[in-house]
Amino acid sequence: MQGNWGSAGTAFFLSAFILGTTIEFVHRGQVFAAGASAMLFSMVYLANIVNASSQAKTYNQTKTQKFRKSLKWYLFAELRLEF
């Protein structure tokens, strides 16, 4: 199994910390701070999903690039310009 475990771990702990802060604000009755913290949590969570998607796309493109290039030359022989 491949992946960027350091980035995933950082994202997980940052999200957990912000969520814990939000819950603590709610328990203390600090509504404005809880709302701000919840908004921050939502933005960080969404950014983590976008980042993971971007990294997966880059990884997949890197792994398939060599195969696609060889396939193009195999399927489209006229591009080789052999005389």
The helix (H) or strand (E) run that includes residue 81 is none
pLDDT exceeds 90 at position 16: yes
Joined together, the tokens standing for residue 71 give 């396939």
Work out the pLDDT band at 28, boundaries 50, 70, 90.
very high
Mean per-residue pLDDT for 3-16? 86
Contacts of 3 (CB under 8 A, 6+ apart): none
Integer angstrom CA distances of residue 23 from 35, 39, 42: 10, 13, 14
pLDDT exceeds 70 at position 82: no
Domain residue limits at 53: 5-80
Mean per-residue pLDDT for 22-50? 96
Number of domains present in the structure of the chain: 1
Work out the pLDDT band at 2, boundaries 50, 70, 90.
low
- pTM score: 0.71
